[in-house]
Structure 1
Amino acid sequence: MDLIQSIKEKAKSKKQKIVLPEGTEPRTVQAGQVIAEENLADAILLGNPEEIKKVAAETETDLTGVTVIDPNTSELIDELAETLYELRKHKGLSMPDAKKFAKNPLYFAALMVKVGKADGYVAGAENTTGDVLRPALQVIKTAENISTVSGAFVMVLPDQEYGSNGLLVVADCAVNPNPTAQQLAEIAYLSAGTAKSIAGIEPKVGMLSFSTMGSAKHELVEKVTTATAIAKERFSDLEVEGELQLDAAIVPSVAKKKAPDSTVAGSANVLVFPDLQAGNIGYKLIERIGKAKAIGPVLQGIAKPVNDLSRGCSVEDIINVTALTAVQAQNC
Structure 2
Amino acid sequence: MKIKPEQLSRHLQQLAPVYLVYGEEPLLVQEACDAIRTAARAQGFNERELFHGEAGFDWNQLLTEANSLSLFADKKILELRIPTGKPGDKGSKAIQEYCQNASPDNLLLVIAPKLDAATQRGKWFKALESTGVAVQTWPVPANQLPRWIGQRLQQAGIKANNQAIEILADRVEGNLLAAVQEIEKLKLLVSDAEVDATTMSTVVADSARYNVFTLVDKILLGDAQSTARTLRGLREEGSEPPVILWALSREIRILLKASDAHRNGEPLERALKNAGVWDKRQPLYKQALRRLQGPQLRAMLRLCRNTDQAIKGLGRDDPWQNLTELVLNLSGTPALTGATIKLAVTP
Q: Which has the higher contact order (CA 8 A, sep 6+)?
A: 1
TM over 0.5: no
Which protein is richer in strand relative to its size?
1
Using structure 2 for the length normalisation, give the TM-score.
0.23
Which protein is richer in helix relative to its size?
2
